[in-house]
Copies of this chain bind each other. A is one copy, B any other.
Amino acid sequence: MEYVGTALAEMTMPQISPLNGEPIERADAERLAGVLKALADPARLRLLSLIQSAPEGEACVCDLTAPLGLSQPTVSHHLRILTEAGLLQREKRGVWAYYSLVPSAIATIADLLTPPRKRATKKAR
């Protein structure tokens, strides 16, 4: 099966058809579901939360295993999924890998869901 490695590109650039106006296409549904699937896990939600509230908005793997109570390989696995979904970015400094939130990635997802804005045509604003 295919990866969601391009999820970020799909989201920040072309944009997935949001959940408001016309019925969404199957392809769009699969892309959006792919990103949401990355979010729909307790461990990953906590990772995002921990990283976001960390001192510089970044954290390395060794800082995250303890609070989560998961093994290092498992944490690394979750971080990989979040990164491939375009939610996290990785920066290697020396022996450490620092993860931080991709600026408005989550907000973009929220916007895709928040349909409401019963705007006339499509997506004004």
Contact = CB atoms under 8 A, between A and B. Distances in A.
Report copies per complex.
Answer: 2
Interface string A86-125: 0000000000000000001011011101111000000100
A22 B53 contact: yes
A19 B48 contact: yes
Contact of A26 (B20, B46, B57): B46
Interface in A18-63: 19-24, 26, 29-30, 32-33, 36-37, 39-46, 48-50, 52-53, 57
**Which range holds the interface residue count of chain A?**
35 or more
Contact of A33 (B20, B41, B106): B41
Nearest to A54: B23
